[in-house]
Structure formats: C-alpha cells, structure tokens
Amino acid sequence: MTSRLSTVARVPVSASFGLGHHSRSHAIRAIATTTTAAAAAASNSALMAGFSVGRIGQQQQQQHEQHEDRRHFTRHSPAPAGSSPASHPSVNIRNAHSASRCGHLVPSVVVQMRRMSTRAHSSSSSASSAPMAYTAVESGSPYSDKYRVFIKNAEGKVISPFHDIPLYANAEKTILNVIIEVPRWSNAKMEIDTKSPLNPIKQDVKNGKLRFVKNCFPHHGYIWNYGAFPQTWEDPHHVTPETGAKGDNDPLDVCEIGEAVATRGQVKQVKVLGIMALLDEGETDWKILAIDVNDPLAEKLNDVEDIEKHMPKFIEATNNWFKIYKIPDGKPANQFAFEGKAKNSAYAHKIIEETHGFWNKLVNKTADGGALSCVNTTVAGSPFTVSEAEAEKIFAAQPAAGPANALPEGVDKWYYPNA
C-alpha cells in the first residue's frame, strides 16, 4: 500500500516468520503510518460540509479504537542491546523474534519506513524537504494507565518527542514537524508526558480516571489530527500581552486539518496556516492550525483566510469544539482571546519562534521547568542529555505491549451542551 507520506509493505499475519527466543520477555507494537483513501475521503467530505462525523455505532467505534492496530500497527521486538542498526532502504522489512503471550505466539515484524520527499508551497516560495523517518512503539495496553508510546529515530534509537525531534523540517523553516497524539475521530485524550524521562505519549488521567473527550453534537471525538510541535514550550512564567495570561506549561498544540486520518505517534510534516488563542482555566493555550504538506489542499492553503475559502465553516467548527468540549464534564465554556478569531500565519510563526526560544532555555536549564523532564539524547550542551545506552535502559524497563482494554461505556454518547 502506498500513502502520500510513506511506502509501507503490508505483511499478512499468516506469513511464515522465524519464531524463536526473545532477548526480552515481550514484544512491542510498531505503528506504521498508513491510512485508507476511502476513510480519508469520507472524513474530508464530512468536514468540508461543516459537519463532523455523526454517531458511530458502539461496535464500529470499538473496532476503530481498540483494533486500530490491525490497520496501523505491526508488532516488533527491540533489537538486542549492543546490536548494530539495520540499513534503512525505502521499505525494509525484516523477520524478528516473537514472544509467547497468553498461551499463543504473536508474529513479530519490523516495518521501517523512509518518508518520501515532501514539498510545501507558500504564496511567495516553495521549499522541499526529505524528513527523517520515525517509528512509534507501544508498551502496556491501550486504554490503561500503563500505556505508553515511545518514539524511535531512523537508526532505531529511542528518543524524546518533546526534545529530540527537530521543530523545523527544512532550513527555510517553512515546514515543521508535528507529533500526532490523537488521531481524528478518536476520543482517548493522549498527550506527550512532559514529566517522564523521554516523554512518551500516554493517556491523560484526571481524578484517577483515564480521560476520554465527550462527543458534543455534531462532533465525534477530535475533529482534526491533534498533536504538538516538538521543541516548543509555553512558559508558565511568561504573560502574553495580547491575552493577559501565562503559558500552560506544555508544548504548542497543533490541529492538523488534512484529510488523512493519522496514527498515534506519527510524525507529520506540516505548514502553518494560523493560530487561535484558547483561554483555558486562566492560561493561554495556543492552538496552531496546520496542514500536512502532502495533503491535496496543501497547495491552496497558505494562510488562515484560505481555510475559510476552501473549507467553509471549518474555523467556526474548531472554535465551537474548543468552546464546548468540557461542558459535559461540568466545566464552564472556554473563552478565547481575539474574540475567537484565528490570527494569520505570520502571527502563528511569531508565537512558534517565541515558544521555541522558551524551550531552548528550558532544555539548557536557564529557565525553571519545575517537574518537567528534559531528558534527551541529541541536544548539544544540554545538562539533561543522556547516552543512547541510558535511553535504552529507560525504554527496556517498560511493560509488555498488551491487548487494548475495553472502552468505557458511553464513549459514543452524544451530548448537547449549551454554551
């Protein structure tokens, strides 16, 4: 199967793989960045009509959430310590060991990808980039408090998505990397764990319960691929003059509005279109609007007004989603700066540059990060940089990848909040 982002060879689970002893006691799923054209087209049609996907049946949503790995995931076993990384051609599939789990053997395959070169278009110039390949690997069971998604680079080395993935994907700074935490249409509130070493993605927990966003009519789950820009930090000690509020102590949030449904942990290359300023519980919570550079609409979308032109009512729907999504949980409606209007690309880039500067201070210990973990493997001069061996020890201590837990009852329920 060929996607716009990756070339991925699909291997049936019935294929004959070498099954043998595993150097560790468990296998970990590797996430392949693929999507079906039919699903993407259907999703885009719903958005272009200004209407999010309606109620999805409980069984269908269970299949979408719990068995997402059947479409996007294969299992792989980490290489034994001290082994040399394999070469990385366009598509490299190698047989790997399997592990016995719950009385059965799970075939294990490593699918490694090198992304195709991408091209972003702007109103004044265009720039190409050949971004690095990244692989997302799971540990624990999805929809549990032990679930984590780690990121590995093209050499198979575990890295921090917060600190080690470059913000910019090209020298011109027109293409940026974004880490997808929550694929479109899903409800589980996943986020980069800023307080744990190597900052894996995990499901947010509040009051001892895993968080799932409610479906506020007419939306189902998140209405974009939701993620974060690496190497950015909204400094909680900095007050933005235009909003009068401090930063929320997280990386910059990104709403990737392209038609393809992403996968959790996928690293996409995007161009920035605009920005919205959500005022969430007294903090400035910036929301970047961006589009995958390989999306069919990417050539036509260069600034915030282009979104309204080619995707009518989309910004209005985005504003509405953020305004009401906490109401079913007993919270008041969220407020926005700038009267809820989206600012343009130039302003968005200004905020991105500013938060990148805050991150530089954070990772170099010239700003107070409090409980944030700045453990990284690549930032030159950072006092938090660790060796690849130390990073691997952190990763090796994680639990086995397990089957997804059952989704909570009511995850498909629609709510009708009045803002």
Read off the pTM. 0.76
- 3-class SS at 70? helix
Identify the pLDDT of residue 418.
Answer: 84
DSSP one-letter string for 86-101: PP--SEEEEE---EEE
Phi, psi dihedrals of residue 342, rounded to the nearest 5°: -85, 135
386 or 4, which is more confident?
Answer: 386
Identify the pLDDT of residue 109.
Answer: 25
Rounded-to-integer distance, Cα 235 and Cα 251, Å: 9
**CB count in 10 Å sphere of residue 219:** 22
Rounded-to-integer distance, Cα 134 and Cα 306, Å: 30
pLDDT digits (tens, 9 = 90+) for 338-354: 999 999 999 999 999 99
Identify the pLDDT of residue 132.
Answer: 77
Domain range list for the chain: 135-404
290 or 117, which is more confident?
Answer: 290
Range among 25-39, 65-79, 375-389 rated most confident: 375-389
Instruction: Calculate mean pLDDT across residues 236-256.
Output: 98
Least confident of 5-14, 120-129, 239-248, 394-403: 5-14
Q: Is the peptide bond before 218 cis (omega within 30 degrees of 0)?
A: yes
Whether pLDDT at 259 is above 70? yes
Identify the pLDDT of residue 136.
Answer: 98
Q: What percent of the chain has pLDDT over 90?
A: 67
Confidence band, pLDDT 50/70/90 cuts, at residue 281: confident
Architecture of the domain spanning 135-404:
Alpha-Beta Complex (3.90)
Identify the pLDDT of residue 131.
Answer: 64
Q: Which two tokens stand for residue 338?
A: 């700038």
Identify the pLDDT of residue 88.
Answer: 34
Identify the pLDDT of residue 51.
Answer: 38
Least confident of 4-13, 122-131, 188-197, 300-309: 4-13
Least confident of 16-30, 171-185, 318-332: 16-30
